[in-house]
Amino acid sequence: MIPQSRFSSLLLGAMLWFSLPALAEEHADWPKGHYPLPESGDIIGEVYTVETREEETLLDVAREHNVGYEEIRLANPEVSIWVPGEGTEVVIPARRILPPVAREGIVINIAELRLYYYPEVGEGETPRVETYPIGIGRDGYDTPLGVTKTTMRLNDPAWYPPRSMREEAAERGDPPPAVVPPGPDNPLGSHAILLDIPGYLIHGTNQPDGIGMRASRGCIRMYPEDIASVFDRVPDGTKVNIIEQPIKVAWEDGKAHVQVYQALEDQEHGMQAYLETLAILERHDQEAPVSVDYEQLRGLLEDPDGRVVVLAPAPEPEVLVEEKDRGLYDDLGIRDDFLDALET
């Protein structure tokens, strides 16, 4: 007879074993960009490849697979944006490190050109994160950083061109209308979520090719289908944390993983971000000493491509031949004059 404790363990193991395929199937059916929160660590998703179809552009592939312009371009530098050709292999950079902030509400990492949404889940539901490519403010119209919240959702919003745009257009002799009604010419698209920062919104767009670029006047743009998918699920008053984190670090299986989006010299607060990265690595080293190759890290900071990269261990220091170590070489028949020349 099997002891009661042993029987309970076997029963629990069997339940877990048979539930694994169901869980895997459940997650496989999730939309692109939706992931269960990792039980440990900060890495989600995987890199994979697809082949282009006839007359499909690289931007078409990006939109279908939940990535933006900069991401798809960096992952496929040799592939033509507009005419990749049928059957061309395209890398989809879907492996990411979660931003190093609280996993609640909406997190927008402008350095990454990406939005993360952590929806509240009911009892028995799998905690998850949804991530979407975005467009943000161009130079001179920087998207503001800080913690704010959503205040109102507008379906089919009208667009009122800001004063600065009206003045610029008037100088060109082409003044815009005072208001643009809902429709294909409306740059807000069909959905808008107002933020508690006057004049700033998360909204759709009538120019989806600009997603993944710094092209707006400060607002956060999303693909029309993406803003539509979250519009009814983001309650008014949802926390929104807008950060600039060009370097992200995570640990998995005792190895340091780094994801870099902007070259250090191009970062407004590059040195601060670099020092924070070193501090994260050193704090982990103190808890569980793991050496990393800082030369490799420097190379990633000089030429980033947005990939999640495993940092190699630090190279072994070169060992000089000391006088006390000559015995081994003498035993091998190596002459002293050769050793002297080696040391010189």
What sign has the CA pseudo-torsion 58, 62, 68, 73? negative
User: pLDDT at position 45, please?
Assistant: 96
Work out the average pLDDT over 244-250: 91
Helix (H) / strand (E) containing 137: strand 136-137
Instruction: Out of 34, 65, 191, 203, pick the active-site residue.
Output: 203
| 203 in catalytic set | yes
Band of residue 203 on the pLDDT scale cut at 50, 70, 90? very high
User: pLDDT at position 320, please?
Assistant: 53
User: pLDDT at position 225, please?
Assistant: 97
CA–CA distances in Å: residue 163 to residues 80, 136, 176, 177, 205? 38, 19, 10, 11, 20
Residue 149 to residue 192: CA distance in whole angstroms? 14
User: pLDDT at position 141, please?
Assistant: 83
At 183, which amino acid appears? G
Residue 242 DSSP SS3: strand
CB 156 within 8 A of CB 145: no
User: pLDDT at position 75, please?
Assistant: 95
Instruction: Out of 34, 65, 191, 219, pick the active-site residue.
Output: 219
CA–CA distances in Å: residue 300 to residues 92, 95, 107, 263? 19, 17, 24, 8
User: pLDDT at position 4, please?
Assistant: 47
Global pTM reads 0.81
User: pLDDT at position 19, please?
Assistant: 41
Which pair of tokens denotes residue 255? 């190895």
Residue 68 to residue 72: CA distance in whole angstroms? 6
User: pLDDT at position 254, please?
Assistant: 81
Residue 149 to residue 117: CA distance in whole angstroms? 13
| 219 in catalytic set | yes
User: pLDDT at position 65, please?
Assistant: 97
Which pair of tokens denotes residue 275? 């020092």
Question: With 80 as the cut, is the pLDDT of residue 42 above it?
Answer: yes
Q: pLDDT for 96-105, tens place per residue?
A: 999 999 999 9
User: pLDDT at position 20, please?
Assistant: 38
Which pair of tokens denotes residue 31? 């939309």
User: pLDDT at position 139, please?
Assistant: 80
Which pair of tokens denotes residue 276? 């924070």
Q: pLDDT for 251-310, tens place per residue?
A: 888 888 999 998 777 777 677 777 877 777 776 655 555 678 888 988 888 888 899 999
Q: pLDDT for 304-344, tens place per residue?
A: 889 999 998 888 776 555 554 544 445 444 445 544 544 54
Long-range contacts of 184-188, Cβ-Cβ distance < 8 Å, separation of 24 or more: 186/157, 186/158, 186/159, 187/159, 188/157, 188/159
